[in-house]
A and B are shown apart, each in its own frame.
Chain A
Amino acid sequence: MKNTRQALREFGASFMGPAFLVYAKEVEAKGAGRVPVCLAREGWCFERLLSHLNAHGHIELEYAPRYLKVSRTLLFRANLGHDYLWPLALANDFEGSMLDLMRKRFGLQMHEAFSVLPVELLQMQIKLPEQQSDAIMWLEPHVPRLKALVAPTLQGVMAYLAALGLKTGPQPMMLDLGYSGTIQKLLTRMLERDTHGLYYVTTKQSGNQHGAGVATLEGVFRENASWGDGFQMLDRSLLFESLMTAPHGQVVDVREDSDGGFEFCYGRQAATQRHFQDLQQVFDGAIEQVATWMADEVTFTSEEVEQMYESFTTRQGAIPQCAWHLFFVDDDFSGNGILNPLALFNI
């Protein structure tokens, strides 16, 4: 008695649709003179949403949205060894060995780590963010070797950004779920220009200088939100994050080919990637619903979107069984491996 395709589509419409609608309208409103840059992985469905709405005349974007295959891990790797990276890369929770940190947060392979860092250092245990200064101190002597190791990645990312035309032309408007804009800040420095970020939620609104550019962050549903304050679109954002992913998973490396093309490397796949055909139904249902609403001039307030998200993420049984297998998220970044947010939040 499982009507899976229909169930997935309608789940997508109700779970993701209202937030998509509000977000897409905000992208349109803030898009003048800017090119929407949909950051991987969440950007994968944003790019499809915006392209669909734009193509069907539901919104008008001055520039076509672009999908940018980046991740925190990729940019951390590319910028490894630079002073400006440490506050961004070592501020989030982590507990484990330095080897684990190098692997999981900076995307180094084991042999890479061992080739540039002493065994004694790799075996040391570290707890972040408490030991951030220790980590910097320990890594400092090895910076030249680290930079040399990741130089091909840095070159690949820079070439990729240039190939997409992001270093010149209209200002990039980075689109992502949120929250502190780490990717945007690093891209701002690498692009050497001002960027605007439009997120579901921001934890800290800022217009900080990053190298030659200023990264401005804006939250559509809430700004300056804090973890643990009971705002479920942040506290239980893992549920949105689980679904809002790309079929290829996390980008961990990019290399420029000799013919000017690019070769991407991806991290391990979570269930959402393995069952991407189901996730596609969820996205399609949501996008189709948003298009219908836009045709009918329907709008939602942020409060309505928040209330629906809270209901879905706090009520047992609100998320239908047909979608349970999609709720897995790769949290290797924090050393947690694959997480199941439904189990984590006991829903």
Chain B
Amino acid sequence: MRTIIFRFVAPYLTSLMVLFSFFVLLRGHNEAGGGFIGGLIAASAFGIYGIACGVAPVRRAMYFHPMAIAASGLMLAVLSGVASLVVSAQFLTGLWAFPGILGGDVGISTPLFFDIGVYLVVVGAISSIALALEERDTD
């Protein structure tokens, strides 16, 4: 699989796919997309990078252990639910704010953070499985 062309293209392809996954994640509330799909896209991006260039560069690129990423995602999702408890609403009630940024109304909300949490869990869990499978036994 590690042909020259594939290895050359893979980093660009991966970064494009990760960017695209962010895009899909953020627009999910109004258009097709969302945390789950975004996470899957990012996971396959890392998978491709791993197939092309080996596992070690992927792990370096991700910097954190994938499972840690997944765990922090779960944490973020829970915290975004807890946030509504602070204003004495029920757990996971959506809180919204519409600050005007760059002349446009941008919706910032706890469901957004929840979705980011979903994204991180999917990226972390799936890519840690994929990476572990790609890795050859050293012993």
| A, B co-complexed | no
